[in-house]
Chains A and B, each alone.
Chain A
C-alpha cells in the first residue's frame, strides 16, 4: 500500500479538546482509495433519534481535500450522518451517538471536545439558503467577527476574498450594504458558501445545496464546488446522481442508515460492487 503524505498544513492545527485529549488515533490511511489521508473517520458509528437508529454502524474514511458525495434514497440518513460531523445534531435533544467519529484523529463526540471550535473547522451549507436578515457584508463578516476580527479593513479583505472564492463578488460588490434577503435563491446559496468560507474551515459540508435552486443556479454552485475542490475537504449530499458523478471524487451510498458502498465515484457509478447500489443508480428504486 502507498504511503501518501498529508497535504494539509497541520502546523497551526489547534486541538479540538478543551482540556485533556481523550483519545488520539493517528490519521487513518485510506482503506478505499489508494491515496490520501482520512480527514474524517467513522468507526462503527451510529446515530440515534431516541430509540431509532438513523445511521447504523458506519465505518468510513473521508479523504482530505477530496470531494465526497453522499447519495441514497430520501430518509436513509444522509443528512443525519452529515450533521453528525459538525455536531448540528446536538440541537435535537433526543439525538445521541455510539461508536467513534474522528476529525483529524480526534473524537468529535469526546467528552472534552469543544463543539464551537469543531464547527469553526467544519463549515456547513444547508439545503435551503439561510442568510441572516442582515446586510451582505454583515453576513460574511459574521463568522470572522465571532472569532475576534474587528478591524474594518481586515474584515473588508476577508469579505471580498470569501465572495470571490464563492464566485459571487461581481454580482454583489456594489451593494454590500443591502439586505442579503434581497438576493435571488442561487445568489443566497453562494452567499452562504462565502459566509462559511469566511471562517476558513477545513471541511465544507453541503446538504443538498442545490435542491431548492433552478438549473442555472445549480450549475453555478457545481462550478463553485469544482473551484473549491483541492482546497477543502468537501462532503455533498445530493439526490441527483449526475451531480454526484460530475462533482465528486468518491461517493458513499446509504440505504436505510447503512453505508452500502463507498468507492471512487468513477468506480461506483460504472462498476458498482453491491447489487443494491446498482439498482439505485440505474433508477430501479429511489
Chain B
C-alpha cells in the first residue's frame, strides 16, 4: 500500500472514530437532557398559592402570616367568581324548564373545571381525597386547566374514514346572554391574582413523603427504599463475593466441582433479572420464609444474588492482577497463606474490588424486575430500619414504572415521574462517580 492511500485511510479512520463519539454524545444528550430538564421541574417550578396552602396544611411549612395575607388577597379576586356563580344559580331558577336543564348540564361542567382550577367552591362538601382539597399547585398546570374552563373539547367524527379530530368550542359562547358569560373573561384576566404564581424551590421533593399517591409531596419513601434495597443487597453480596473470589483464585483446586462452580457463576451473570425476581419470590419468600410476604430483606437478598456474579468476577480479576512479587515477598518473610491474602493481596486488590462493588451497588439501585415480586409496593411511606424484615417499601425503579403506567392519573403527575427518573439517574451516576474517585485515590495511595 503506498503512503498516499495509507494516509487517506488513516484520516478516514480518525474521522469515523470522531464521528461515532459525536453520535454517542448526541444520543446521550437526547436521553439525558429531557430527563434533567423535566426532572428539575419537580423541584424548581412556578408554584401557586394552592401549593403554599398545601405545604402549610400537610407539612406545616411556610410562614402562616404571609400565607393568610396571600389567601386573603387571592380570595378577594375569587369572591367575584363565586358571586357570579350564585348570581347564575339564581338566574337558572327563573328559566323555563327545558332551557334550565340545558344550562344546568353546561353549568356543572363549568363548576368542575373551576374546582380543578381553584379548589373546592363555597358550599362544596369537604373532599375526601387530598387531591381535591386544593386547586392547581403548579402554574403550568393551572394554565392547562384554564383552557379546560374556557373551551369545551369536542370530537369531529363526521368522516368515517379517518380518525376523529379534536376541536375546541368556547364555553363563553354557550352562555351568551346569561350573567355567567362575564365569568370566562374575568377568570382569564385575573387568574394570576387568584393563584399568585411565584418561583418555587421545593427542596422537599427529595425529603417529603408523598401525599395522596404522589399528587403532592415528595419522593423520600422511594429514595429511602432504593437505598435500603441497594445497601442491603451489598451487605450480603459484597462479603460473600469477596470470599468466593478469594476461594476461586487462591484455594480452589482445579477439578470438576471447581469448573461447575465457575460456569454456574458465569451463567448467573447472564440470567435475565426478571428470573431473579421469580426466584426471589419462590425461594426467599415461599420456601425460606424470610418474611411473611414482600419485604425489604427479601428484595435485598434477591438483588444480592443478582449482583453476586459481577462482584465475584471483579474481585477475581482484581486479585489476579496483584503482582506475583507481592505474594512472594510476603511468603518469603514467613507469612502464612491466609496472612498474605489478608495483609497484602486484598489491600492491593482493593481498588478493583471496590469498583466492582460500587458499580454493582448502582445496578442494584436501578433494577426493577427483581423487586417487583419481592419488595416493591407502589404507595407507601418511608419505613423504619426495624421494619426491613417485615415491610415492603416503595422504590424509585419500580415506582417510575408504576407511576407512568399504572397510576390512575398518570398524566397529572408527569413532573413527579421525571423527578424520580432524575433522582435515580443521579444516584446511579453519583455511585459510579464515587467508584472512579475511590479507585483513583486508593491506587494513588498504593503507588506512593
B348 within 8 A of A: yes
| B 320-345 to A, binary, CB cutoff 8 A, 1 in contact else 0 | 00011111111111111001000110
Q: Is the CB of B448 within 8 A of A143?
A: no
| B 417-430 to A, binary, CB cutoff 8 A, 1 in contact else 0 | 00000000000000
B447 within 8 A of A: yes
B248 to chain A, nearest CB (A): 15
Q: Is the CB of A143 within 8 A of B333?
A: yes
Q: What is the interface of chain B mostly: helix, strand, loop, or mixed?
A: helix
Select one of B323, B336, B446 contacting A116, CB under 8 A: B336
* Stretch from A45-53, A127-135, A244-252 contacting the other chain: A127-135
> With A128-B325, A132-B326 in contact, do A179 and B445 touch (Cβ < 8 Å)?
yes
Scan residues 296-350 of chain B and give those whose CB is less than 8 A from a CB of chain A.
323-336, 339, 343-344, 347-348
A2 within 8 A of B: no
A3 within 8 A of B: no
- Greatest chain A CB density within 10 A among B324, B327, B333, B339 is at B333
- Tell me which residues across on chain A come within 8 A of B343, comparing CB atoms: 142, 146
| A 86-119 to B, binary, CB cutoff 8 A, 1 in contact else 0 | 1010010000000000000000000000001101
Q: Is the CB of A181 within 8 A of B335?
A: no
Select one of A123, A128, A181 contacting B332, CB under 8 A: A123
Question: From B448, which residue of chain A is reached at the shortest CB distance?
Answer: A179
A239 within 8 A of B: no
A220 within 8 A of B: no
Q: Is the CB of A126 within 8 A of B329?
A: yes
Select one of A120, A130, A179 contacting B328, CB under 8 A: A130
Question: From A180, which residue of chain B is reached at the shortest CB distance?
Answer: B448
A116 to B332, CA, bound (A): 8
Q: Is the CB of B334 within 8 A of A143?
A: yes
Scan residues 157-181 of chain A and give those whose CB is less than 8 A from a CB of chain B.
178-181
A199 within 8 A of B: yes
Q: Is the CB of B328 within 8 A of A181?
A: no
A130 to B344, CA, bound (A): 12
A148 to chain B, nearest CB (A): 11
Q: Is the CB of B331 within 8 A of A181?
A: no
Question: From A147, which residue of chain B is reached at the shortest CB distance?
Answer: B334
A117 to B348, CA, bound (A): 25
- Tell me which residues across on chain B come within 8 A of A116, comparing CB atoms: 334-336
Question: From B326, which residue of chain A is reached at the shortest CB distance?
Answer: A132
> With A116-B336, A130-B323, A132-B326 in contact, do A91 and B447 touch (Cβ < 8 Å)?
no
- Greatest chain B CB density within 10 A among A119, A147, A181 is at A119
A269 to chain B, nearest CB (A): 30
Q: Is the CB of A126 within 8 A of B447?
A: no
- Tell me which residues across on chain A come within 8 A of B328, comparing CB atoms: 88, 91, 124, 126, 130
Q: Is the CB of B332 within 8 A of A196?
A: yes
Select one of A91, A120, A182, A192 contacting B448, CB under 8 A: A182
- Tell me which residues across on chain B come within 8 A of A178, comparing CB atoms: 448
Scan residues 168-223 of chain A and give those whose CB is less than 8 A from a CB of chain B.
178-182, 192, 195-196, 199
A2 to B320, CA, bound (A): 53
B445 to chain A, nearest CB (A): 7
Q: Is the CB of B334 within 8 A of A133?
A: no
Q: Is the CB of B332 within 8 A of A132?
A: no
A89 to chain B, nearest CB (A): 11
Question: From A124, which residue of chain B is reached at the shortest CB distance?
Answer: B332
> With A128-B325, A179-B447 in contact, do A86 and B344 touch (Cβ < 8 Å)?
no
- Tell me which residues across on chain B come within 8 A of A123, comparing CB atoms: 332-333
> With A126-B328, A130-B325, A132-B344 in contact, do A181 and B447 touch (Cβ < 8 Å)?
yes
Q: Is the CB of B333 within 8 A of A146?
A: yes
**Tally of contact residues, A, Cβ under 8 A:** 29
Q: Is the CB of A130 within 8 A of B326?
A: yes
- Tell me which residues across on chain A come within 8 A of B327, comparing CB atoms: 91
B157 to chain A, nearest CB (A): 77
- Tell me which residues across on chain B come within 8 A of A179, comparing CB atoms: 445-448
B253 to chain A, nearest CB (A): 9
- Tell me which residues across on chain A come within 8 A of B329, comparing CB atoms: 126, 130-132, 192, 195
Select one of A91, A180, A195 contacting B333, CB under 8 A: A195
> With A88-B328, A91-B328, A142-B343 in contact, do A133 and B448 touch (Cβ < 8 Å)?
yes
B74 to chain A, nearest CB (A): 67
A91 to B323, CA, bound (A): 14
- Tell me which residues across on chain A come within 8 A of B445, comparing CB atoms: 133, 179
> With A130-B328, A142-B343 in contact, do A117 and B334 touch (Cβ < 8 Å)?
yes
Scan residues 342-381 of chain B and give those whose CB is less than 8 A from a CB of chain A.
343-344, 347-348
A181 to B323, CA, bound (A): 14
Select one of B324, B335, B339, B446 contacting A133, CB under 8 A: B446
A163 to chain B, nearest CB (A): 16
Question: From A139, which residue of chain B is reached at the shortest CB distance?
Answer: B329
Question: From A144, which residue of chain B is reached at the shortest CB distance?
Answer: B333
B338 to chain A, nearest CB (A): 11
Question: From A201, which residue of chain B is reached at the shortest CB distance?
Answer: B334
- Greatest chain B CB density within 10 A among A120, A128, A130 is at A130
A250 to chain B, nearest CB (A): 23
| B 426-448 to A, binary, CB cutoff 8 A, 1 in contact else 0 | 00000000000000000001111
B443 to chain A, nearest CB (A): 9
Question: From A125, which residue of chain B is reached at the shortest CB distance?
Answer: B332
> With A132-B326, A180-B448 in contact, do A146 and B335 touch (Cβ < 8 Å)?
yes
A140 to B46, CA, bound (A): 65
- Greatest chain A CB density within 10 A among B331, B334, B445 is at B334
- Tell me which residues across on chain A come within 8 A of B448, comparing CB atoms: 133, 178-182
Question: From A93, which residue of chain B is reached at the shortest CB distance?
Answer: B254
A197 to chain B, nearest CB (A): 11
Q: Is the CB of A133 within 8 A of B447?
A: yes
A99 to B106, CA, bound (A): 109
Question: What residues make up the interface of B, taking CB atoms closer than 8 Å to A?
Answer: 323-336, 339, 343-344, 347-348, 445-448
15 further A-B pairs in the complex, CB-CB below 8 A; given A91-B331, A130-B326, A132-B344: A91-B327, A116-B334, A116-B336, A117-B334, A119-B334, A120-B333, A121-B334, A123-B332, A124-B332, A128-B325, A132-B348, A133-B446, A146-B334, A147-B334, A192-B329
Could you pull out 17 A-B pairs where Cβ atoms are within 8 angstroms? A88-B332, A91-B328, A119-B333, A120-B333, A124-B328, A126-B329, A130-B326, A131-B329, A133-B326, A133-B447, A142-B333, A143-B333, A146-B333, A178-B448, A179-B446, A181-B448, A182-B448
A-B pairs with the 6 shortest C-beta distances?
A179-B448, A120-B334, A130-B325, A133-B446, A181-B448, A124-B332
